Amino acid sequence: MPEAASAPSSSRALIGDSEFDRDTAVVRREPGVHDIDLSAGWTILGAVNGGYLLAVLGRALADTLPHPDPFTISAHYLTASRPGPAVVRTETVRTGRTLSTGQASLFQYDDAGNEVERIRVLASYGDLAALPDDVRTSATPPPIPPLEQCFGPEDGPAPADDGSTIADRLMIRIDPATLGWALGKPSGKGEMRSWFGLADGRDADPFSLLLAVDALPPTAFELGLKGWVPTVELTVHVRHRPAPGPLRVSITTRNLAGGFLEEDAEVWDSADRLVAQSRQLARVRLG
């Protein structure tokens, strides 16, 4: 087990006072304009992870809209983000009693100092704490062995110095039944299941759920594909405020065709509640 997961709770990072909170904090320059220095700690092959970026945009919208929590957030990824300065511009589209809708774009700068748009997002926010507690779900938590029987990056060979830093900040323990790709024997099934948390032990909140849906190795690996699977569009529904403790994340791909695939994620909390659902469309290089 990772040190963070076995450490007493008194030494864990807290929501609001953790690396994830500091690295996603936006500074309001003026209404609708937020600055951030994108951290170099959340990269994959040199590009900033799409889930981390979604959390940054989600926090800028939470600072703009009258409701606190992203209920549904749809992101279209335009160009790859790099660590460094960025600006997030937000707009309130509509304000209602129980839901409000906003738009946000993240920009960085080219060599001439011109703004280049990285991502554009539409989102509807509400208040998760105000929802009735009815649950009639037919979904069931993913079948995953206990955390100590699953495997993380530190169980494999030392990682290559390839510009991927995000693994240092995550607690990921993958179900060995979905880990064939790491042994050169992909199952051919588009499934992966994992325990998930932040390495410093910070519990999950709606913003870290935006990270959780896009932080596992791609299902494409279990389909026998290699290389980067860039996201075109990612939509996340946050359905419930997560209970403390590690999450379980299940991702599946049913349709790999024409050089694209969809990847669906479900995130379950320690109280067996389905707390987030997502779907993304991603490009693949077929080989």
Residues in contact with a copy of itself by the rule CB under 8 A: 71-72, 74, 76, 78-79, 93-94, 99, 101, 103, 117, 120-124, 128, 131-139, 189-190, 223, 232-233, 235, 237, 239-240, 253-260, 262, 273-274, 277, 279, 281, 286
Write out the two tokens for 202: 């910070």
Q: Is 191 helix (H, G, I), strand (E, B) or coil?
A: strand
Q: Tell me how far, at minimum, the Cβ of 112 lies from a copy of itself, in Å.
A: 18
Per the CB < 8 A criterion, the answer to whether 70 and 104 are in contact is: no
Q: Choose between 29 and 94: whose C-beta lies nearer to a copy of itself.
A: 94
**Quick one: 169 or 240, whose CB is closer to a copy of itself?**
240
In whole angstroms, the minimum distance from the beta carbon of 239 to a copy of itself comes to 6
**Contacts of 148 by beta carbon, 8 Å cutoff, 6+ apart:** 1
Which lies closer to a copy of itself via its Cβ, residue 163 or residue 188?
Answer: 188
Alpha carbon distances (Å) from 128 to 86, 135, 209:
29, 14, 13
- Shortest Cβ 273–a copy of itself spacing (Å): 8
Region of residue 201 (phi > 0: left; psi between -120 and 50: alpha; otherwise: beta): left
CB of 233 to a copy of itself, least distance (A): 4
Please, which residue, 112 or 129, has the CB nearer to a copy of itself?
129
Closest CA to 265 of 219, 204, 202: 219
Dihedrals φ, ψ of 219, to 5°?
A: -55, -25
Minimum CB separation of residue 118 from a copy of itself in Å reads 10
